[in-house]
Amino acid sequence: MSEHAGIDTAPPPSLPRAARDGRIARWRHLGPTYGATAALVVLVVANAIFTPHFATASNLWNVLLQVSEVLLVGLGMTLVIATEGIDLSVGSVMAVAGAVGAVLLPHGVALAALAALAAALVVGLLNGALVAWVRVQPIVVTLATLIAARGLAQVISHGGELVTIDDPAFLALGRGHLGPVPAPAVVALAAAVATVLVVRMTPFGRYLLSTGGNRAAARLAGVPVTRTLITAYAACAVMAGLAGLIQAARLGASDGAKIGLNMELDAIAAVVVGGTAFYGGRATILGTVVGALIMQVIATSFNMLLIPYAWSLALKAAIILGAVYLQRPARA
């Protein structure tokens, strides 16, 4: 029973807060992404001044190489979070893809890569189906697939042993360069551009944001809500699979127990810092790119300054909390 159907604004907790919300609503909408971009600029400039050898071309390529896997996973994660969901299984999906790719490599690079991505897709479809059809909470579904896929990856790689990779074409995916640009960075950048275009220009992009923004309304407007959810999880898993292949190629081996470990946390952090809100209905791909770069610049510069790793974690945590704080009141 909606007693307040006649009132356009939902009853806020108190009036002063409502007034304040209205005044800075616009600023807040832009806040997270703009704030993150500003933070990135400050970080880069400060490092350029204070960190020896930071502002060099080789370091730039290094940062981009390091960030590419988190970025790939973060792009898919952005889509899933925009639906008001989350995907914890991405790290394990990377491991599955790496393992499948490494094991099938004797049958040819193309087949191995395709099979790896197909394996990732299957996990993604499973996630999506459980979320959309069975209506299990995303965090529970993907926690289960996180565990299962990690185990599966070790089974595939012959019971958990290290499968070394020596195919030069495959290794190029992780170690090659296009001009001065590392191959993984090229892949990640291309994926980012493609994701931006999909979100902004295709019906799927609109369906994604509608499903996350107001699922009941989307359904009544004829949006294929189920298909949209499944597609988001599937896309997320495929991008994670790609990241898994890159990591295996970069390391020159597939380790079912290690590849992609804790990647879900870094990816979620990049998305959140970039300004995509956990309550769904918004996706800022550019923000995710910026968020991933912030995290990477902090890690790299602390490393170069020989500051203990633990301190960089503390700073990362502060940045995540700051980003979440900026998003906090956006919904009345």
Partner 1 sequence: MPPTRPEPADAPPLLRMEGITKRFAGATALDGVHFELRRGEVHALVGENGAGKSTLVKIMTGAYHRDAGHVWLDGRPVAFDTPADAQAAGVTAVHQEIHLLGHRTVAENISLGREPRRWGMIDWRRMYEEGARVLAGLGLDIDPRAPVASLSTARRQMVAIARGVSLGAKVLVLDEPTSSLAEREVAILFGLIRRLQAGGTAIVYISHRFDELWAVCDRVTVLRDGKLVGTHEIAALERIDLVCLMLGKSREALQHGATAFHTRHAARGRPEGEPLLRAEDLRRAPRLRDVTLEVREGEILGLAGLLGSGRTETARALFGADPADGGSIHLRGRPLDPRHPADAIAARIAYLSEDRKAEGIIPELSIRENLTLAALSTLTRFGVVSRARQRELVDRYMRRLGIKATSAEQRIRELSGGNQQKVLLARWLCTDPVLLILDEPTRGIDIGAKGEIQTLVNELAAGGLGVLMISSEVEELVEGSSRVVVLRDGRSVAELAGEEISARAIVHAMAAESPDAGAAAPAPMET
**160 near partner 1, judged by CB under 8 A:** no
**Where does residue 41 rank: exposed (0-12), middle (13-18), buried (19+ CB within 10 A)?**
exposed
**166 near partner 1, judged by CB under 8 A:** no
| Residue 312 neighbours by CB under 8 Å, 6+ apart | 298, 299, 302, 303
Identify the residue among 24, 25, 147, 318 touching partner 1 (CB under 8 A).
25
Q: Which is nearer to partner 1, 2 or 58 (CB)?
A: 2
| Chain center to CA of 303 | 23
Contacting range for partner 1; rule: CB under 8 A; set: 218-226, 242-250, 264-272, 313-321: 218-226
**Where does residue 101 rank: exposed (0-12), middle (13-18), buried (19+ CB within 10 A)?**
buried
**235 near partner 1, judged by CB under 8 A:** no
| Residue 323 neighbours by CB under 8 Å, 6+ apart | 32, 35, 36, 272, 273, 274, 275, 291
Contacting range for partner 1; rule: CB under 8 A; set: 51-59, 195-203, 244-252, 309-317: 195-203
Identify the residue among 219, 257, 304, 315 touching partner 1 (CB under 8 A).
219
Count of residues that bind partner 1 according to CB under 8 A: 37
CA–CA distance, 20 with 25 (Å, rounded to integer)? 8
Helix (H, G, I), strand (E, B) or coil at 134: coil
Q: Which is nearer to partner 1, 207 or 233 (CB)?
A: 207
Helix (H, G, I), strand (E, B) or coil at 161: coil
Identify the residue among 92, 145, 210, 296 touching partner 1 (CB under 8 A).
210
**3 near partner 1, judged by CB under 8 A:** yes
Q: Which is nearer to partner 1, 50 or 279 (CB)?
A: 279
- Of 264, 326, 284, 272, whose CA–CA distance to 91 is shortest? 264
**10 near partner 1, judged by CB under 8 A:** yes
- Binding residues vs partner 1 (CB under 8 A): 1-12, 15, 18, 25, 29, 201-203, 206-207, 209-210, 213-214, 216-224, 281-282, 331
